[in-house]
């Protein structure tokens, strides 16, 4: 693979500044980036994703519970659904709350509050 004269990369003009606010927040914000779109819009998309990560496993869990109920063992079905889908839904909401809290702190630090 060769590089044309038009595709040459220029060296960075300055080294990475560790005192800039973004590198401190990079780990805390995990999947959010202030360079792509507004943080609020990214939080809204993450909220919608979390809602879907609640609805889809909820529907799947309901189907499993119905199947176990038809065979006369709703107790086993409830335990199975709780053990399989409970952590999935719980961790999705915990992750959303964590990222939302860190994003709010980042936005507050940007505005100087």
The Cα angle at residue 21 between residues 98 and 96, in degrees rounded to 5: 15
More confident residue, 24 or 44: 44
CA 13 to CA 82: how far, in whole Å? 54
Report how far residue 68's alpha carbon sits from residue 84's, in angstroms, rounded to the nearest whole number: 14
Query: Which pLDDT band holds residue 29 (cuts at 50, 70, 90)?
Result: low
Question: What integer is the mean pLDDT of 55-84?
Answer: 95
Mean pLDDT throughout 63-70?
96
Contact 31, 99 (CB under 8 A): yes
Indicate the DSSP class of residue 8: P
Question: Which pLDDT band, with edges at 50, 70 and 90, does 47 fall under?
Answer: very high
Q: What share of the chain is helix, strand, coil (3-state, %, to 5)?
A: 75, 0, 25
């Amino acid at each position: 693979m060769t590089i044309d004269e038009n595709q040459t990369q220029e060296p960075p003009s300055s080294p990475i500044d560790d005192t800039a606010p973004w590198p401190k927040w990079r780990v805390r914000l995990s999947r959010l980036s202030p360079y792509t779109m507004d943080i609020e819009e990214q939080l809204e998309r993450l909220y919608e994703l979390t809602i879907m990560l609640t609805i889809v496993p909820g529907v799947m869990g309901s189907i499993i519970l119905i199947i176990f109920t038809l065979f006369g063992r709703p107790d086993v079905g409830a335990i199975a659904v709780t053990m399989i889908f409970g952590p999935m839904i719980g961790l999705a909401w915990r992750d959303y709350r964590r990222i939302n809290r860190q994003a709010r702190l980042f936005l507050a630090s940007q505005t100087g509050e």
